[in-house]
């Protein structure tokens, strides 16, 4: 039986205002057995699928790959961004 995966488009980072690295679709496997490392206290797992992230240029390619490999997946659609165009002059008006 193949693991469950999620297909999503990553959000932009909070560190930058640009939209770099947000045009790819990611197929990421979900970790089944997260445990706490007794030495360092970090979360760890013996599941090597959790380290795997596959990138696709389109959503359809990611879905087709998952279907071809018989991977049970959950599709997470990106939320639409609401962009408000402002002018620099708006800071001094009203």
Q: Report pLDDT for 21.
A: 66
Q: Does the CA dihedral 8-9-15-17 come out positive or negative?
A: negative
Is 17 a member of any domain? no
The rounded distance, in Å, linking the Cα atoms of 31 and 18 is: 30
Q: 59 is in which domain, residue-wise?
A: 1-9+24-30+42-94
> Which tops the pLDDT comparison, 76 or 42?
76
Q: Is residue 18 part of a domain?
A: no
pLDDT of residue 42: 80
CATH number of the domain that residue 75 is part of: 3.30.160
Is 79 a domain residue? Answer: yes
Summarize pLDDT for 10-19 with one digit per residue, the tens. Answer: 887 777 667 6
For residue 65, being part of any structural domain is answered with yes
pLDDT in tens, 47-65: 777 788 999 999 999 999 9
Q: Answer whether 59's CB lies under 8 Å from 65's CB.
A: no
Number of domains forming the structure of the chain: 1
Average pLDDT for 54-83 = 91
Residue 90 lies in a domain: yes
Query: Which pLDDT score, from 0 to 100, does residue 94 have?
Result: 67
36 within a domain of the structure (yes/no):
no
């Amino acid at each position: 039986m193949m693991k469950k995966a999620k297909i999503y488009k990553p959000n932009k980072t909070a560190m930058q205002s640009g939209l770099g690295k947000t045009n790819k679709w990611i197929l990421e496997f979900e970790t089944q057995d997260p445990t706490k490392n007794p030495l360092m206290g970090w979360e760890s797992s013996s599941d090597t699928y959790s380290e795997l992230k596959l990138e696709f240029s389109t959503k359809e390619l990611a879905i087709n790959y998952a279907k071809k490999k018989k991977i049970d997946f959950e599709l997470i659609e990106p939320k639409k961004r609401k962009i408000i165009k402002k002018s620099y002059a708006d800071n001094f008006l009203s």
